[in-house]
Amino acid sequence: MRGLAILLGGLTLTTAAFAADDPIAVRQALMDNNGAAAALAGAVMKDELAYSPVIGKAVIEALSATAHAYGSFFPEGSNDPARTHASPKIWEDPAAFQAALDKYSADAAAARQASGKDGPADKAAFAAAVQPVLGNCKSCHEDFRLQD
């Protein structure tokens, strides 16, 4: 349940930030939302939370929504190092960043497809659908996010 609360918190935060018209705040809120979705997936995987297709559906939809929106919040100049961990490579090599976004979107679309109208039927089906999407987190961060 804790995971669900975080997820809903994340979703609310996203909406609030959109209103603020601040690309750094928006993209960070989108990522916090991703973090909350990954937390929910992890709670299921670690058996801290009993699986239900509704949870699977919520996780996959949240990840997929971020995948659609995320690339739109990196205008030139939104790289103030005091505020963002976005790597300068995003602007130096936009084609490579776009490729990472495309892969993330494609994996999210495949997961949505697999999840169907009601969400993946059981934990195993959920894991199979969501794990490829979650693989994008680490690989994109490795290439396009600065360490602290």
Asked if residue 110 binds other proteins (CB under 8 A), the reply is no
* From the list ligand HEC, other proteins, none, partner contacted by residue 107 (C-beta under 5 to 8 A by kind): none
Closer to ligand HEC at the Cβ: 123 or 145? 145
As a whole number of angstroms, the longest Cα–Cα distance in the chain is: 45
For residues 72 and 97, the answer to whether their CB atoms sit within 8 Å is: no
Q: Near other proteins by CB under 8 A, which window of 16-24, 45-53, 60-68, 73-81?
A: 45-53
Asked if residue 102 binds other proteins (CB under 8 A), the reply is no
- Torsion over CA: 101, 106, 112, 114 (sign): negative
Work out the angle at residue 81's Cα, subtended by the Cα atoms of residues 80 and 86, and round it to the nearest 5 degrees.
90
Member of 4, 22, 23, 42 binding other proteins (CB under 8 A): 42
For residues 114 and 129, the answer to whether their CB atoms sit within 8 Å is: yes
Q: Which of 62, 69, 60 is nearest to 111 (CA)?
A: 60
Rounded CA gap, 11 and 86, in Å? 21
Q: Near other proteins by CB under 8 A, which window of 13-21, 36-44, 50-58, 71-79?
A: 36-44
Q: Give me the residues that bind ligand HEC (CB under 6 A), please.
A: 24, 27-28, 31-32, 34-35, 38, 63, 84-86, 100-101, 104, 134, 136-137, 140-141, 144-145
Contacts with other proteins by CB under 8 A lie at 35-36, 38-39, 42, 45-48, 131, 134, 137-139, 141-142, 145, 147-148
